[in-house]
Structure 1
């Protein structure tokens, strides 16, 4: 029997309850958000941001290209020197919370709604979360989150944002896919999962904007990719010696 690899099934990115949900964010996807925020008139160069699920720093480093200061934390130590501390974002922070304008992250899949509610407590200006596009669906999530605190913007990517577990991959660099029979082939990494940025914003009186607008992020990966964005291809994904690209 062939495995079911339909888009509907492959889009179900489910993680065990104890998973770190390690899916690094491609830098170009973050730059697309920052460009949108600049176009909305946000003076990012004067603002502070918090990245509470910083992983290996791929998203936080891009925030640092625009924001005056970026505070990066994670519940796990991934070895990135820019991480300010090991901390569970979902604890009651009280007066220990960083003083920030924005909280921006790619949250753990199963904790997305919890991250959003927590972020709205501490961000002065706005919150942006990178989620599966299907995150906006569901009665339970509507009742517990969106009904009372609707997002200001839903920003779906027209292009696929390629995110693989545990590794940041350049979608233009082929990886080796063994066939289980001693052979295999090299293919460019792809994803069946579609992603969107959800953005909450406060107005000048600090009230959350309550009208949701849908704005597509046009094709921009090539434009927003910079040299050095991607680490070298891990050895286990390189074609074997003599393998054809």
Structure 2
């Protein structure tokens, strides 16, 4: 197998590269833009309005690209610099005290590293003014410790599983990929939002056909021509 090219943007010095987190440890699976739009459709339905959105694990910008259709350009940050020019703050750890200073956002919407999902939910719940939406594997519902997170500490409002698979590949977006992993949008509505609070999470399945309905002609082209092309699209080397 051909070695993958460096995922650091050109121009990084050796010192900067040594300070950057290891790409292998980032659990980075770029979100197909159509899957981001599927979550945005639900949020726009339950909480219509012009909201300020923070995407704190923006990676190469795939999630933010899909969200822009509904909320305008999100405030995008990431702990790692993937070279995407839309990232507003590079090398910002969402779980850090520094990130606690960003409190002016209505919704926090992201596809977090699954291994840090619990911590991302708690941090987002603490900071968002109206709601939180996380794209996660459906198995995020499982686990005794997670029961307290989802049903007591940060009461879950909506679970929206995809009826069709959402293919995600580590380290790159491959529009032609397939997957056996089930994903869902997990949505939390804050009490201060003034919206109805369900006694139990609402199951809101995302129907089949959304991959076609919510894909846009310019999605793939939006990520062509960027540094380290295999990160942003196309088949693996």
Q: TM-score, normalised by structure 2?
A: 0.78
Q: Contact between 2:125 and 2:154, CA under 8 Å: does it hold in 1?
A: no
Question: Which residue is equivalent to 2:46?
Answer: 40
- By how many angstroms is 1:170 displaced? 1.3
Q: Structure 1 residue aligned with 2:206, among 192, 217, 235?
A: 217
1:146 aligns with 2:151: yes
Where structure 1 has 5 or more consecutive residues not aligned to the other structure, the ranges are 1-15, 172-188, 240-245
The structure with the greater share of residues assigned to helix is 2
Aligned counterparts of 1:129 and 1:31: Cα–Cα separation in 2: 13
Question: Which residue is equivalent to 2:79?
Answer: 75
- By how many angstroms is 1:208 displaced? 8.9
User: Which structure has the bigger radius of gyration?
Assistant: 1
- Where 1:88 maps in the other structure, the secondary structure is coil
Q: Contact between 1:106 and 1:131, CA under 8 Å: does it hold in 2?
A: yes
Q: Contact between 1:50 and 1:98, CA under 8 Å: does it hold in 2?
A: no
Question: Which residue is equivalent to 2:64?
Answer: 60
RMSD after superposition: 2.6
1:17–1:59 distance in 2 versus 1, CA, 3 Å:
closer
1:126–1:208 distance in 2 versus 1, CA, 3 Å:
farther
1:155 aligns with 2:155: no
Aligned counterparts of 2:37 and 2:59: Cα–Cα separation in 1: 17
Question: Which residue is equivalent to 1:118?
Answer: 123
1:96–1:193 distance in 2 versus 1, CA, 3 Å:
same
Q: Structure 2 residue aligned with 1:133, among 135, 138, 153?
A: 138
Q: Contact between 1:72 and 1:84, CA under 8 Å: does it hold in 2?
A: yes
- By how many angstroms is 1:17 displaced? 11
- Where 2:180 maps in the other structure, the secondary structure is coil
Aligned counterparts of 2:100 and 2:142: Cα–Cα separation in 1: 34
The structure with the greater share of residues assigned to strand is 1
Question: Which residue is equivalent to 2:9?
Answer: none
Where structure 2 has 5 or more consecutive residues not aligned to the other structure, the ranges are 1-21
